[in-house]
Structure 1
Amino acid sequence: MTHQFDVAPPYTAVALHGVSPQPSHDEAARFDFLANLNKYLSGTLGPGNKLAYDTRVLPGFVAENGREPRDRFEIRHAMNRDPHHRFWSALKRNSMEMRQQNGRAMVLRQLDELNARARQYNEGRDTLELDPSVAVPRYQSAIDIHCMPGSYHGEELPGDVSAGANYDCGIFATTAGGLGALSDGGGQALVKWAQTERPGWQPQRILDIGCTVGHNIVPLALAFPDCEVIAIDTAAPSLRYAHARAQSLGATNIRFVQANAENLSRWADESFDWVQTTMFLHETSGTALPRIIREGYRVLKPGGLMLHLEQPQYSDAMPLYEQFIRDWDAFNNNEPFWSAMHALDLKTIMQDAGFAADDLFVTGVRAVVDTDIFPSAGEEKEEDHGRAAVWHAYGAWKGGKPA
């Protein structure tokens, strides 16, 4: 039977795995409230920002300055004085803080049990490689990304999984279910894209950079069971959780490795068929990002695929207002590199790494969502966190796409 939801699906629609935090009645109710608050902020209150800009902020700016805004930053400073935008922005920031605190309380309440369950999947297996000598880079450690206490690498106890568990349990609320019951709509989208773009392709080795809890790489590992998948991150707590999560879901062909993608020297030149990131590049610094691309190019085989799922880069073709509203996370959601990263010319960076201009492509990828949860998922053409997320994929086939 297909169930219709007029609001975000209930938190009980989350698909549980071997290390899922178990919500109490009140914790699930809080996540349900936050999911629907996010839908309301996006779908109902969000358009009011453009109305405020068109009817109050832009005319006021022109009257004061004798010209229109030159860039997204001038729009931000002007919009930050508008009461509707201030109200919307405060609600949006508080929704993220509440999401993090609810998830954190839920995880800490059962942390001993979660750690014990994770150890059952992690101990004695050679598919989890942690290296204490790998330092968390400053661009990850200097701020609690997404307002998450301790960011991806914080530990409450030595060897715990709290950071990964908190990240995982709250994605459903943040996206209002738009990434599916396992929050793996991005990974499902990658599988669908690859099978459509290159039917019959069976990559032998995949490198996933910045894997966090592995929700985007598990679908690829399951779709290509004979493939060796390497998933790397610098955050040990997230990796412990990611490995246990993947093992419990049957994705036993993923090796989770603590490593910094700026230096992939442990892997030989031309040793991977596919190198990828999913919503990761915007969390790296302007210095680190080109190094990561260069290293990815080095370890990619001729004819191999590099693919980065991100939001669209800012360009002269993107209206300044759209750049401004997309920039919100950079200044309000502890995403300090978001603005600068989306203003970079990724094509030039990829060419500087070694790709030829003809190797490059940009395409759109929509999250694959369980239609039993969202029967109408996929109807929208634009990003809508109430339904299914849409990304731009910045990719290249090294030396050209194989026939």
Structure 2
Amino acid sequence: MSGIAESRAALAHPMIAVPTHDELVEQLFVRDLKLFVGQTLEPAQQKIAAQIAPAIAASGSNSPVDDLRLRMQSFESFTTWLSLKRESQRQLWAAVEDCVERQADQLEALAAVDAPKGTLTLDPDFVAPDYITRGDIHLMPGGNAHDDGSVLQGAVMDRGGAVYMLGRNGGMLNDLRGHTAMAHLLTVAPDINPGRILDMGCGIGTSTVPAAACFPEAEVHGIDVGASMLRYAHARAEHLGAAIHFSQQSAERTTFPDASFDVVYSCVVLHETSPEAAINILAESRRLLRPGGIAIHLEVPLLHTLGDIWQELSSELEAQFNNEPNWRGALTADYGQLMRAAGFTEIRTGYQATAFNGRSALRKFGDTSDGVFRSWFVTSGRA
């Protein structure tokens, strides 16, 4: 027991599940398998697709992406890649779940924080939207809204997120996106001193704590649809010394009054919703802002224009094989137009350089992505 306690002390925060030697080896194997699938097998498939694409274009096909997929399926390497892509994700969650379930009692005890700085409000009658419940997003068993009255689903997401992101999203804290959102806020409004901040779709709070760290005097709120996620987020934030108010709500329509926040933001939420929900979330972020307030919506830096046949096929495969419900819609949306339609002004769309610390980060924002994990797509606007 003392060894585990010492290991916890050495980690980013006490709530994250600590693997045994064998569990860590298994998780590292899955990490390396995912690297092999993404960095060796996938580029090889892209090269094959590049050789096939000219013939499809010359044929005048009305469904070039479908034709490419049909032709690619004749290659055993393509079907093997897809199988390994899905199976490596399934193995990730299986390895992490074993680690978390072994420590269930410890994690529940740690979640019982005495004299918390923040608050947690759950709604026993809350019904999660169907785009969350119809499939297990990222193939995580139970999905984002699963709740058994414990913190375990949140703990699975936390440990699994570090492995899933291969440590590139802030190591065990998984907080680079939150820091990047704050860096963008300070890029466009360097003198801002917000009184109230809201993180929409906060999950386990990895993007929420950076707001509290960046603006310690602000009242910070985080909302999500998953009760287990929020229980874990609350405990995690408390152990990190952040006073955050978490509540179970849909980002499409919250219970907060009009014009009640100075900053409203989301991190990689829109691609896990639906086209209609994304529009509603942007409109809700506008409703919640005080005059002059700023909304920031951060997404993966993979936006592309229609016409790249491999990118389009890759997007379809990501949506299907990793249960990403709005992947294609979110990556091809005209966010400038969507923000205008929601009523924002001073709209910006582009790429914010990844930040390890929102307050002291390089405030680099522009039209060009530096690549995955080196920059994030951001759209922002003022009320």
Q: TM-score, normalised by structure 1?
A: 0.83
Higher RCO (CA-CA < 8 Å; seq separation 6+): 1
3-state SS of paired residue (1:245): helix
Aligned residues of 2:138 and 2:322 also touching (Cα < 8 A)? yes
3-state SS of paired residue (2:197): strand
Aligned residues of 1:18 and 1:244 also touching (Cα < 8 A)? no
Corresponding residue for 1:320? 309
Corresponding residue for 1:202? 193
Corresponding residue for 2:180? 189
Query: Using the alignment, how far apart are the partners of 2:62 and 2:246 within structure 1?
Result: 47
Aligned residues of 2:351 and 2:369 also touching (Cα < 8 A)? no
Distance 1:295 1:186, change over 3 A: same
- Measure how far apart 1:355 and its partner are: 2.1
- Measure how far apart 1:14 and its partner are: 8.7
Q: Which one-letter code corresponds to 2:380 in the other structure?
A: G
Corresponding residue for 1:213? 204
Aligned residues of 1:179 and 1:367 also touching (Cα < 8 A)? no
1:392 to 367, 372, 377: 377
Residues 106-153 of structure 1 show CA distances to partners (whole Å, capped at 9, x for unaligned) of 1111112211211236x8766111111221111111111111111122
Give the superposed CA RMSD. Answer: 2.6
3-state SS of paired residue (1:207): strand
Corresponding residue for 1:261? 251
Corresponding residue for 2:333? 344
Query: Using the alignment, how far apart are the partners of 2:31 and 2:23 within structure 1?
Result: 12
May I ask how many residue pairs the two structures share in their alignment?
365
Percent identical among aligned pairs is 33
Q: After superposition, where does 1:97-116 map in structure 2 within 5 Å?
A: 97-116=90-109
- Measure how far apart 1:284 and its partner are: 0.9
Corresponding residue for 1:161? 151
Structure 1: gaps of 5 or more residues: 1-10, 371-379, 399-403
Query: Using the alignment, how far apart are the partners of 2:337 and 2:184 within structure 1?
Result: 24
Corresponding residue for 1:119? 112
Q: Does 1:67 align with 2:64?
A: no
Q: Does 1:227 align with 2:218?
A: yes
- Measure how far apart 1:94 and its partner are: 1.2
Distance 1:12 1:69, change over 3 A: farther
3-state SS of paired residue (1:143): coil
Query: Using the alignment, how far apart are the partners of 2:9 and 2:86 within structure 1?
Result: 25
Residues 258-309 of structure 1 show CA distances to partners (whole Å, capped at 9, x for unaligned) of 1112222x32221111111100001112222222211111111222111111
Query: Using the alignment, how far apart are the partners of 2:235 and 2:375 within structure 1?
Result: 28
Distance 1:34 1:247, change over 3 A: same
Q: Which one-letter code corresponds to 2:189 in the other structure?
A: R
Q: Which one-letter code corresponds to 2:328 in the other structure?
A: S
Aligned residues of 2:180 and 2:376 also touching (Cα < 8 A)? no
Residues 56-83 of structure 1 show CA distances to partners (whole Å, capped at 9, x for unaligned) of x3256468xx236755444334433332
Q: Does 1:47 align with 2:46?
A: no
Q: Does 1:82 align with 2:75?
A: yes
Which is further off, 242-251 or 41-50? 41-50
- Measure how far apart 1:26 and its partner are: 1.1
- Measure how far apart 1:192 and its partner are: 2.8
Aligned residues of 2:227 and 2:248 also touching (Cα < 8 A)? yes
1:58 to 48, 53, 57: 53
3-state SS of paired residue (1:287): helix
Query: Using the alignment, how far apart are the partners of 2:313 and 2:208 within structure 1?
Result: 31
Q: Which one-letter code corresponds to 1:141 in the other structure?
A: T
Query: Using the alignment, how far apart are the partners of 1:346 and 1:381 within structure 2?
Result: 16
Q: Does 1:32 align with 2:28?
A: yes
Query: Using the alignment, how far apart are the partners of 1:203 and 1:297 within structure 2?
Result: 16
Residues 191-228 of structure 1 show CA distances to partners (whole Å, capped at 9, x for unaligned) of 33333333232111111110000101111111100011
Q: Which one-letter code corresponds to 1:217 in the other structure?
A: T
Q: Does 1:240 align with 2:231?
A: yes
Structure 2: gaps of 5 or more residues: 1-6, 358-367
Aligned residues of 2:175 and 2:206 also touching (Cα < 8 A)? yes
1:21 to 17, 22, 28: 17
Query: Using the alignment, how far apart are the partners of 1:178 and 1:13 within structure 2?
Result: 22
3-state SS of paired residue (1:163): helix
Distance 1:360 1:124, change over 3 A: closer
Distance 1:348 1:14, change over 3 A: farther
Query: Using the alignment, how far apart are the partners of 2:105 and 2:112 within structure 1?
Result: 11
Aligned residues of 2:347 and 2:382 also touching (Cα < 8 A)? yes
Q: Which one-letter code corresponds to 1:298 in the other structure?
A: R
1:383 to 371, 375, 380: 371
Q: Which one-letter code corresponds to 1:304 in the other structure?
A: G
Corresponding residue for 2:144? 152
Corresponding residue for 2:354? 367
- Measure how far apart 1:346 and its partner are: 2.8
Q: Does 1:178 align with 2:168?
A: yes
